[in-house]
């Protein structure tokens, strides 16, 4: 038998009371794509961070190509041919692609020779692995799909034979994700080993050769991808059968809560990011907005929630013009809640405790204190109740927000906004970076809110999610609403609308 590319034997890691990895043993075959799946907080990223040298295991052994090694830093990992593409890219945005590629591998005091050498090697790697990117482009000006390619090129340039990708599709459009999969298959066919960490079961089935399932810090199952299915993987992940569809009764629609009329918003370059958009959302319904990321959905939500001012047109919330209400804080007081698309920049403050993030925007609630003084016990008690209700792990109100996994950060935000008992809930990408068990939970809560007579405006790049949850679907392309469809609409037709092609034109 061929020697495994990576062997992890009895890896154990604790962070205080949190047992992040519990006696984990794992074997990764050379020249394969090995998927690691599990709920948020299952220990996937911690395990890979140990392999890449960010953390050291409390006990256990790592073997690379059959040889026991000590990996105490990322430099050690790279010297053993291990590279990692992180969920949040480790790039210097003002630098060019070429400068980012050689960063940390300059090879001397003079930068000129290193750049010249890197340019030639970069061209070879791009051609060999279909990783085309302009070496002189400024990284901060590239779309996320190309930034990810830069991360992969950086790892390959430094000699990676084993490439770890942590939730690589979380920031990609479906087309970008498809291109990434083609790249990974090419890497595998060229003899590279890929470790693919994700919570998206359909992706893991489409791209991997082998799958390991983690739950509560331990590996609980291993499968050959060809011999398993989505239902079996979901059950292994959460330890119970998971409902992979959304059950809901027909909507009982009431009065208009949100009325958007001929809304237009121009950016600094006078380009219409939202272009003459009109629609309504009523009590007791979920209106979903489908579309490829970057087609005006984010800007639309900003105007509706008072973060940005409309260039023209009107947004009426319960009959009042949002522009006249001055700011987002007043909208919250009037009954509009907002789960933002970007949880790190807008949903919480990562340096705050979970309890502090759990009251952001609601800190003036009289139940939480008077004037500028917060009642810390009331804040902590509220956060504990929300954590229990939304199954936030670990259930520690005093833990820094940054210490929670992405899915648990999302639950903190959802608990805060749904807990405010809003008349209108604006939700952007509700399950981005969230595992299958949490997705099921979040979907169920949104349907419960709808059935209580609340109005919900949902934006998601996941078409399956939009079709499952929505009572009506609006499709956006280039800032305009291309059409309104029922959730039962043909997927191909929705896809054409998302690409800017109407049914009549097609």
Q: What domain range includes position 114?
A: 6-238
Supply φ then ψ for residue 340, to 5 degrees.
Answer: -75, 155
Q: Is 505 part of any domain?
A: no
Q: Does residue 359 have a pLDDT over 80?
A: yes
Clarify whether residues 227 and 375 are in a common domain. Answer: no
Query: Is residue 13 one of the residues assigned to a domain?
Result: yes
- Whole-angstrom distance, CA of residue 266 vs CA of residue 236: 48
Q: Are residues 230 and 280 in the same domain?
A: no
Could you tell me which residues come within 8 angstroms of residue 321 by beta carbon, excluding any fewer than 6 positions away? 314, 315
Tell me the pLDDT band of 498, cut-offs 50, 70 and 90: confident
Question: Is 250 a member of any domain?
Answer: no
pLDDT at res. 115 = 80
276 & 186 share domain: no
Is the pLDDT assigned to residue 432 strictly greater than 50? yes
CB-based contact 315:302 (threshold 8 Å): no
Are 232 and 204 spatial neighbours (Cβ–Cβ below 8 Å)? no
Give domain status of residue 66, yes or no.
Answer: yes
254-286 burial by CB neighbour count: b if 16+ within 10 A, else e? eeebbbbbebbbbeeeeebbbbebebebbbbbb
Mark which of 238, 265, 280 sits at the end of a domain.
238
Residue 104 pLDDT exceeds 60 = yes
Q: pLDDT of 403-423, one tens digit each?
A: 887 788 999 999 999 999 999
How high does pLDDT run on average in the chain? 89
Return d(Cα 445, Cα 390) in angstroms, integer.
Answer: 9
Q: List own/partner pairs for 208-212 with CB under 8 A and 24 or more apart.
A: 208/33, 208/34, 208/35, 209/29, 209/32, 209/33, 209/34, 210/28, 210/29, 210/32, 210/33, 210/34, 210/35, 211/34, 211/35, 211/36, 211/37, 212/26, 212/34, 212/35, 212/36, 212/37
Using CA atoms, how far apart are residues 427 and 94, in angstroms rounded to an integer?
A: 32
Same domain, 312 and 438: yes
- The CA R_g of the chain, rounded to the nearest whole Å, is 24
* Same domain flag for 219 and 265: no
Residue 333: pLDDT above 90? no
% the chain with pLDDT above 90:
55
Q: Are 291 and 481 in contact (CB under 8 A)?
A: no
The residue assigned the tokens 């051609």 is 127
| Angstrom distances, CA of residue 263 to CA of 171, 378, 427 | 27, 41, 19
Residue 402: closest CA among 449, 460, 458, 343: 343
Kindly state the tokens that stand for 147: 């930034």
**Number of structural domains, the chain?**
2
What is the side-by-side strand order in the sheet with 82-85?
A: 82-85, 162-166, 193-198, 33-38, 210-215, 218-224
Q: Is 369 left (phi over 0), alpha (psi -120 to 50) or beta?
A: left
463 token code pair: 């078409």
Confidence at residue 505, expressed as pLDDT on a 0 to 100 scale: 53
Among 222, 161, 231, which residue's Cα sits nearest to residue 24? Answer: 222
Give the tens place of pLDDT for each residue, 54-71.
999 999 999 999 999 999
Burial (Cβ within 10 Å: 0-12, 13-18, ≥19) of residue 191: exposed
- Which has the minimum average pLDDT: 139-143, 218-222, 260-264, 501-505? 501-505
Residue 244 falls within a domain, yes or no? no
- CA–CA gap between residue 288 and residue 376 (Å, rounded): 38
Q: What is the pLDDT of residue 506?
A: 46
Tell which residue, 6, 148, 174, has the closest CA to residue 77. 6
Task: Using the 3D structure, point to which of 212, 238, 264 is the last residue of a domain.
Answer: 238
For residue 249, is it within any domain? no
Say if residue 350 is in the same domain as residue 201. no
Residue 11 domain-assigned (yes or no): yes
Predicted confidence at residue 433, as pLDDT, reads 67
Q: Specify the length of the chain in residues.
A: 506
Mark whether 273 and 401 lie in a shared domain: yes
- The stretch 7-20 carries a mean pLDDT of 91
- Identify whether residues 227 and 274 lie together within a single domain: no
Q: pLDDT tens, 276-318?
A: 999 999 999 999 999 887 889 999 999 999 999 999 999 999 9
Per cent of the chain over pLDDT 70 is 95
DSSP string computed for 118-152: HHHHHHHHHHHHT----TTSBGGGS-HHHHHHHHH
Domain of 467, CATH number, reads 3.40.50.300
Does residue 383 lie within any of the structural domains?
Answer: yes
Across the range 251-265, mean pLDDT stands at 97
Whole-model pTM? 0.68
In the predicted model, is pLDDT for residue 4 greater than 90? yes
Residues 219 and 351 in one domain: no
Question: Of 90, 113, 87, 86, whose CA–CA distance to 100 is shortest?
Answer: 90
- Statement to judge: residues 201 and 119 lie in one domain: yes
287 lies in the same domain as 218? no
234 and 369 both lie in a single domain: no
């Amino acid at each position: 038998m061929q020697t495994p590319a990576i062997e992890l034997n009895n890896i154990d890691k604790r962070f205080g009371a949190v047992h992040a990895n519990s006696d984990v043993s794992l074997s990764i075959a050379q020249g394969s794509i090995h998927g690691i799946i599990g709920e948020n907080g299952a220990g996937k990223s911690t395990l890979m961070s140990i392999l890449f040298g960010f953390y050291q295991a409390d006990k256990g052994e790592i073997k690379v190509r059959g040889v026991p090694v000590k990996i105490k830093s990322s430099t050690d990992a790279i010297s053993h041919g291990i590279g990692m593409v992180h969920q949040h890219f480790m790039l210097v945005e003002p630098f060019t692609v070429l400068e980012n590629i050689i960063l940390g591998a300059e090879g001397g005091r003079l930068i000129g020779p290193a750049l010249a050498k890197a340019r030639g090697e970069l061209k070879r790697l791009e051609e060999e692995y279909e990783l085309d990117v302009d070496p002189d482009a400024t990284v901060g000006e590239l779309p996320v799909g190309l930034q990810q390619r830069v991360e992969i090129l950086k790892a390959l340039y430094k000699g990676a034979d084993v490439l770890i990708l942590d939730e690589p599709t979380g920031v990609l459009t479906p087309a970008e994700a498809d291109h990434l999969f083609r790249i990974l298959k090419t890497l595998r066919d060229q003899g590279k080993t890929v470790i693919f960490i994700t919570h998206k079961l359909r992706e893991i089935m489409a791209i991997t050769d082998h799958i390991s399932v983690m739950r509560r810090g331990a590996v609980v199952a291993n499968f050959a991808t060809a011999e398993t299915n989505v239902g079996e993987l979901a059950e292994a992940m959460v330890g119970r059968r998971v409902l992979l569809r959304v059950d809901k009764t027909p909507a009982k629609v009431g009065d208009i809560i949100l009325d958007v009329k001929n809304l237009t918003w121009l950016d600094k370059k006078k380009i219409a990011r939202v272009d003459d958009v009109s629609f309504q959302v009523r009590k007791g319904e979920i209106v979903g907005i489908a579309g490829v990321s970057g087609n005006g959905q984010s800007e639309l939500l900003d105007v509706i929630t008072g973060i940005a001012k409309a260039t023209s047109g009107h947004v009426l919330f319960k009959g009042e013009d949002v522009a006249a209400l001055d700011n987002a804080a007043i909208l919250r007081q009037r009954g509009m809640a907002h789960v933002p698309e970007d949880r790190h920049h807008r949903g919480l403050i990562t340096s705050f405790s979970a309890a502090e993030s759990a009251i952001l925007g609601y800190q003036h609630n009289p139940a939480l204190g008077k004037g500028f003084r917060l009642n810390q016990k009331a804040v902590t008690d509220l956060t504990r109740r929300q954590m229990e209700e939304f199954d936030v792990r670990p259930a520690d109100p005093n833990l820094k927000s940054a210490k929670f996994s992405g899915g648990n950060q999302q639950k903190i935000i959802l608990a805060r906004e749904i807990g405010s008992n809003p008349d209108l809930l604006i939700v952007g990408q509700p399950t981005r970076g969230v595992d299958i068990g949490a997705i099921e939970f979040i979907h169920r809560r949104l349907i419960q809110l709808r059935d209580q007579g609340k109005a919900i405006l949902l934006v998601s790049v996941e078409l399956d999610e939009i079709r499952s949850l929505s009572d009506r679907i609006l499709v956006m392309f280039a800032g305009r609403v291309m059409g309104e469809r029922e959730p039962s609409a043909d997927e191909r037709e929705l896809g054409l609308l998302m690409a800017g092609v109407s049914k009549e034109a097609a």
